[in-house]
């Protein structure tokens, strides 16, 4: 379910990026109109499977949430309803696309508006803002994950966003110089047989 939701959300975000770039739309206005559907898309397969109810995907969280292995405690549910519109206003006011992307990611995770999926959505948000601002889609790699989580903690708990900005900037720079190879389609049926033979 998680992989299907991720793939469908990825497709939705890419489609929006294409429309924004092709029509020279304002990225922040388009984001504000479409963003709530990203969360719905991410978890719709779980609704179809009966794991979640459709009503679970309506609006922001109504309960407190904790982030595993983190000191940062996200905002109370009442504050989320005020802070999310403020985040979209902030993104609209910020002129530099790189700053928009880093701040958008960080503040979204700081608010933590949903019970689940905040990390995935924050990275989709970051990449939407990067690509509509002229940067390449940038992946937080498995190798950089420990540093990434530590930098987010530094920003959220100790109010020092520089390590996070440096990390994201470094990933953008390194992946622009040497893009990460992406597997875009499943192997054909015959190649599975060949793979099994090679492992026997």
Instruction: Specify whether the backbone of 87 is left (phi greater than 0), alpha (psi in -120 to 50) or beta.
Output: alpha
Task: Answer whether residue 197 is part of any domain.
Answer: no
pLDDT score at 184: 54
Note down the domain range covering 165: 2-179
Q: What is the CATH number of the domain that holds 44?
A: 1.10.3290.10
- Digit-coded pLDDT (tens) for 112-148: 999 999 999 999 999 999 999 999 999 999 999 999 9
Whether residue 185 is contained in a domain is answered as: no
Q: Are 122 and 108 in contact (CB under 8 A)?
A: yes
CA–CA distance, 65 with 113 (Å, rounded to integer) = 9
| Residue 114 pLDDT | 97
Q: Which residues contact 75 (CB under 8 A, 6 or more apart)?
A: 83, 110, 111, 112
For the chain, residues with pLDDT lower than 50 are 185, 187, 189, 191-192, 194-200
- The catalytic residue positions are 112
**3-class state of residue 45 by DSSP:** helix
Number of domain units in the chain: 1
pLDDT recorded at residue 2: 86
For residue 73, is it within any domain?
yes
Give the Cα separation of 118 and 132 in Å (integer).
Answer: 21
Q: How far is residue 108 from each of residues 37, 162, 196, measured CA to CA in Å?
A: 16, 17, 43
In a domain, 199, yes or no: no
């Amino acid at each position: 379910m998680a992989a299907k939701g991720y793939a469908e959300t990825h497709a939705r975000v890419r489609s929006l990026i294409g429309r924004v770039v092709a029509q020279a739309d304002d990225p922040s206005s388009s984001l504000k109109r479409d963003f709530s559907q990203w969360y719905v898309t991410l978890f719709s397969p779980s609704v179809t499977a009966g794991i979640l109810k459709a009503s679970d995907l309506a609006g922001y969280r109504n309960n407190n949430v904790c982030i595993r292995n983190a000191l940062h405690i996200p905002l109370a549910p009442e504050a989320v309803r005020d802070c999310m519109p403020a985040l979209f206003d902030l993104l609209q006011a910020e002129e530099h696309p790189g700053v928009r992307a880093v701040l958008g990611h960080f503040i979204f995770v700081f608010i933590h508006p949903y019970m689940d999926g905040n990390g995935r959505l924050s990275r989709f948000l970051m990449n939407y803002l990067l690509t509509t601002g002229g940067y390449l889609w940038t992946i937080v790699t498995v190798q950089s994950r420990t540093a990434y989580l530590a930098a987010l903690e530094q920003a959220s708990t100790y109010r020092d966003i520089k390590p996070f900005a440096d990390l994201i900037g470094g990933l953008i720079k390194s992946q622009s110089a040497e893009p990460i190879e992406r597997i875009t389609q499943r192997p054909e049926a015959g190649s599975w047989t060949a793979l099994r033979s090679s492992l026997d």
